[in-house]
Structure 1
Amino acid sequence: MLDWKKIRADFPILNRKVNGKPLVYFDNAATSQTPQQVIDVIVDYYSNYNANIHRGVHSLSQEATDKYEAARHTIQHHFNAKHAYEIILTSGTTESINLVAHGFASLLEKDDEVIVSALEHHSNIVPWQMLCEKTGALLKVIPMNQNGELEMDSYSKLLSNKTKLVFVNHISNALGTINPIEKIIEQAHNVGAAVLIDGAQSCPHVKPDVQALNVDFYVASAHKMCGPTGVGMLYGKEEWLNKLPPYQGGGEMIDQVSFTKTTYAGLPHKFEAGTPNICGGIAFGAALNYMNAIGFNNIAAYEKELLDYGTKRLLEIEGLKIYGTSINKTSVISFNLKGIHPYDVGTLLDKMGIAVRTGHHCAQPIMDYYKIPGTIRASFAFYNTKAEIDTLIEGVKKAKMMLS
């Protein structure tokens, strides 16, 4: 069992008040909070060794470079990548996906097929639509059912020797559904297709092993897992990263430059043009160390308790409907009150100090499937408590009374 009192003490923001009420932060699927241990790493960087990396012989540059590359190795070991150079540091999940989409623009041909799922975030839909428009490839969609699960029989029928790429999130940000990515990857590989898994929502809850998954690309963002915004990673198998052309041109990604011809650096620098988010990369490594010290098995077990408790308590409210009822899901509950717009409920909850997300959660096709404008989403992290869920329940009841 987690000592949540001790853990909560690591997060200074949890002590503040919002609208005169103690903050109840249930918007973790959008951005998790940052522990003091990671904040200290950020302050230490700017206070003591702020310098550009890889290109300096002076002490500050060497120290910053060493810590940045040490963070890359931390990320490598966390995801169990075979090589550190298979970890490309980016601005986050969205840039990581766009990097791969840009690269495949030179590899796809007209009438090739790519597959996404109906459960995707917009950032795992729009880049592939743009790629298809550019190349003439065809976009196909794995349908979902009322429980918020993918129809795997339909997926099997979509696959063919024309399928070149499959893109699926590990966990749905809107519904919390955990997708069967092992089966998705295996079946895609059986027809020779590459697979990218969007791990933005899974990485705060589970510890993916990219070698065991045998996945070709896996992407994640630090700000979902106790790190800072503006930094994330792309894991790619070495063979695939070598096939893709550079995403951007500039400093760091070059080998030799002349006005006649430029040659490019090897991995990972081939994809890391310009000055990176140095502090962010270092803090990303610190955030992973923090979460691993708590233990992902401990985190998963405790968050399952929160999910079960929150689900039970919310369903006690008459007229409340939960969207996303898969048995395999993580600590996200999307719900609505009958006849009441989710935005109105979210606004009233904020007045009570309760932070939830309302709207389509950058997953508009899911909302269109359910024929709703959006949902109220409460997403729990390992620093939340059952007492906070009780506060949410009372808040939802009060909002329902005021808006009915």
Structure 2
Amino acid sequence: MPAARAAPDELTYLATMRTISVCGKNGQWQLALGLLGHMRQLRLKPTEVTYSAVLSAIEKSNAWEAALAVLEEMLQMQLVPNGLNAGAVAGVLQRALSVDSAYIILDKLLGLWVQPEKPQLTSGIVGLLPDENDNNNNDNDNNNINEPAEPDLAYAVKTGAGVMAIVKPIGMTTEAATKQVLSTLPQEASALHVVSRLDHPTSGVFVAALGLPGSAAANWLEAQFSGRLVQKEYVCLCEGGSLGPVGSRGDIASPLRTLDFSEAGVLSSRTEVSPSGREALTEYEVLAGYRLPGTDHVAPDSEFVLLKVRPLTGRTHQIRVHLASIGRPLVGDLTYGAKKASALASCPRLFLHCGRVALRTMDGQPFVAEAELPPELSEVLVNLQPVTIQNANSEANLQPVRIQADQYLEVGY
């Protein structure tokens, strides 16, 4: 008996969906919009997946009108956008217009996530742009939580509407830290959803949603991360020479590609700079300079730079790979660093710590959570000799410098 063949409409639908998906990955938003219109002409009903792919394509542009139009159409189709959909629109709005414009849309969508049975906005989206004179500078009223008695345990450091900040020690996954904290909470706090992770050897603060996946709290946080509205600041120590005077700023914009592989039956991943990789952007600021004790002069192989780093994208191992790619590997990095050849091979761990996370809670309040540098990292700095570096106090010196990996010798991974 011959195999059943797909109906022409089904074949057209599948082919169109595949093409829209490719457009989403390549940022071809005009073509994606055209195909969406073609589906309507053929009376093929778009799905959540269709709209997600179209928004993914628009996300890489500044076409905020197109993003809002697709969002409106989703709502007209009685489809509630998820956090990633909302983040795609918010990201376009904050780049093309303002951060306030992005949050106005998220505030409206929050009402749908709380009451998903009513997928409609009470007023037109385009008319929701902020008044330039409307400044909301209310002080944060979030709850600070006491630190734990044992430093090697994860603990909740702060809570706000829909969000909890957790401090994770090294040697623990983000999921394990979240589970550990959840076990200490009252029974009514029955769920924490991880929306952003810290690497296993990285310490510091991260945030989790106070709710299940798909909840209003989870969508709210996912939208902010997806729309690049969350500010994360890390402190790291790298080796390999100066990056300028104290206060010097720059960014690294090399695209990154992550490869998954299996080694001895264990799944792992490795990230590398690649022209075919995804967009990645890391900002840094020089905080201090150090050298090995007992050295009378600063040589590149004995100099260390303490940086404040802000990843504007969230690629796997982004900070570590970006700095290694310009010849400034992190101290203690056994994957992308100098390893045994390091001038500071005695460092007990990866010198990377997330010290600050800033976002907004579900009630619109600023939420800032911080974590102090752990004692073992502070001790590393105490045992180094500070280098007096002239402050970058001139306006010219304070201008950010963009660095591409191909300006330096290629670092083998």
Query: What TM-score results when the alignment is normalised by the length of structure 1?
Result: 0.29
Larger relative contact order (CA 8 Å, sep ≥ 6): 1
Looking at CA atoms only, which structure, 1 or 2, has the larger radius of gyration? Answer: 2
* Larger helix share, 1 or 2: 1
Query: What TM-score results when the alignment is normalised by the length of structure 2?
Result: 0.28
* Larger strand share, 1 or 2: 2
